[in-house]
Amino acid sequence: MSQKITIQDFYGKILGWIDVDDRGNKTVQQFAGPIVGYYRKSDNVTTDFYGRIIARGDVTASLLMK
């Protein structure tokens, strides 16, 4: 069963969502709709929309803080 986590700023404005699948992989989506990145648990890397590695580890929420 997947889980959807809402990410908000200090004032409560929704910045986007992180969808977590059953395997622990994550998809990051901005409030306006576009997907901005992914986290692959098996490789322990966070990538941008184009598949370029952003960081080793899970930094998915930081993709919404641009």
Q: Which residue has the tokens 């699948």?
A: 21
Give the pLDDT confidence score for residue 4 in this predicted structure. Answer: 96
Task: Give me the residue label for tokens 């929420």.
Answer: 61
37: containing domain: 3-64
In 10 A of CB 63, how many CB atoms? Answer: 26
Global pTM exceeds 0.85: yes
Residues with Cβ < 8 Å from 21, sequence gap 6 or more?
2, 27
Q: In this structure, what DSSP letter does residue 32 have?
A: T
Q: Is the pLDDT of residue 66 over 70?
A: no
pLDDT digits (tens, 9 = 90+) for 10-65: 999 999 999 999 999 999 999 999 999 999 999 999 999 999 999 999 999 999 98
